[in-house]
Amino acid sequence: MSLISSLIFPVPPPTYTLHSFPKELLWIPYGLDYSSCRTGDCIPAIFLQCTNARYLVLYLHSNGEDVGLCYQFAQGLRMVLEVHVLLVEYPGYGICPGHCSEETLFAAARTAFHFVCEVLRCPAEDVIIFGRSLGASLAIRLASTVTCHGLILVAPFLSLVEAVQGFVGGLANVLVHDTFSNRNYVRKVKVPMLVIHGLKDRLIPCSHGQGIFDLCPHDKKLLVTPKTMGHNTDLLSHADLLIRPMLRFFSLPDYNFDELHVPPQAFDKRLCLQYHNLMELVRDDRPLLQPLGDQEPCGVSDGPTGPQCLTRHPPGSNGDVDNLDTNADYTVRNRGSGQVMMPRAFVGSGSDAADDSVGESVSTTVASSAPSTAKPSANGEADTEEDASPPGLEILDIDGSISRFLVMEHDVV
């Protein structure tokens, strides 16, 4: 980006990612066809819906912010005015691919308007185009080519050359040429227009707003010049700056019970170029595993119900299968039937337990009838040494082989 472009488009660092604003951040294809659009050929936008609202505000932000910085302002508009709000991102801003120029920014604004009318199926007469500073230039040009409910301009300028002349004089014609010439487009605007320009604006004098107002040929227009408003004043900080003029100029709020049609594909993050860049970074950092199906090598060992994988895909958890109404120490789910088997020690002991366990895959806890031996401890108490299986061994006894061995050993003794 050249020095002049960096002055005209002071792009801030992105304030959001493709994972921000769930169910609100969407992607708009330049061709409005999700089935044929390619990755990176989409414009990110934030769509804030308002239940049963009639009007939709298409907001075009200034050159020093992205849609992430406009999010709270859009929320305020939706809450106070009860309107839908669509925040449109510019190429080169936020996570939108591309470079900044008058034509690329206008292409994004025009695409967003057609998206509202053709994809969301919002009538053009219910769309209010709203632009601030540089966004006001895009709004004027867009309103000169389409029909909509109205146009709102905040701190507009007659042309970029005239705006820069206030700082560099005659060099303006050499530096910025004839770009963003709003005085030419505003003459073609045929919709109601509301202009708001603060008297304390030191970046773009209020005379520019007055000039835009005078050049508009439409009969219904209003110029508001708040005395305490600067170029970057919060428009929601006082009702007289924006809210009251909008309520006076437009019929807000109004209602429509037909829901807007938002296609599910609009929220597909794979349309974002950064999604694929992130995946490539992950691949370079650590190769992703690709399942090979039956051809994939995998170490196995024979288990009670067939081979059990040792390296990956372990048996899934069946949840907490403990029966809290019994006195069982352990419970084991039979892998074949999904049945819960109770410890055999609480059903029967001795030879009965040994007979019942033959030919059945159960978990058996052995209660030995042999006397236990005790060793005196240092403090005079006796430590009991158990003959049964080690603690925790019973839960590993899937096929009952350990229990049968211990029972047979006990019978021999």
Which phi and psi angles does 327 have, rounded to 5°? Answer: -100, 25
If you write DSSP's letter for every residue of 355-395 in order, what string do you get?
HHTTT----------SPPEEEE-TTSPEEEEP-SPPTT-GG
Q: What is the pTM of this model?
A: 0.67
Percent of the chain clearing pLDDT 90 (strictly above) = 54
Round to whole Å and give the CA distance between 212 and 140: 10
Burial class (CB in 10 A: 0-12, 13-18, 19+), 152: buried
pLDDT tens for the chain, 413 residues long, are 566 677 889 999 999 999 999 999 999 999 999 988 888 889 999 999 999 999 999 999 999 999 999 999 999 999 999 999 999 999 999 999 999 999 999 999 999 999 999 999 999 999 999 999 999 999 999 999 999 999 999 999 999 988 888 777 777 777 777 789 999 999 999 999 999 999 999 999 999 999 999 999 999 999 999 999 999 999 999 999 999 999 999 988 999 988 898 999 999 998 888 776 655 444 555 554 444 444 444 444 444 444 444 444 444 444 444 444 444 443 344 444 444 444 444 444 444 444 444 444 444 333 434 444 444 444 444 444 444 445 555 555 556 666 665 666 555 55
Contact predicate 196/245, CB 8 Å: yes
Taking the CA atoms of 225, 231, 233 and 235 in sequence, report the sign of the dihedral they define.
positive
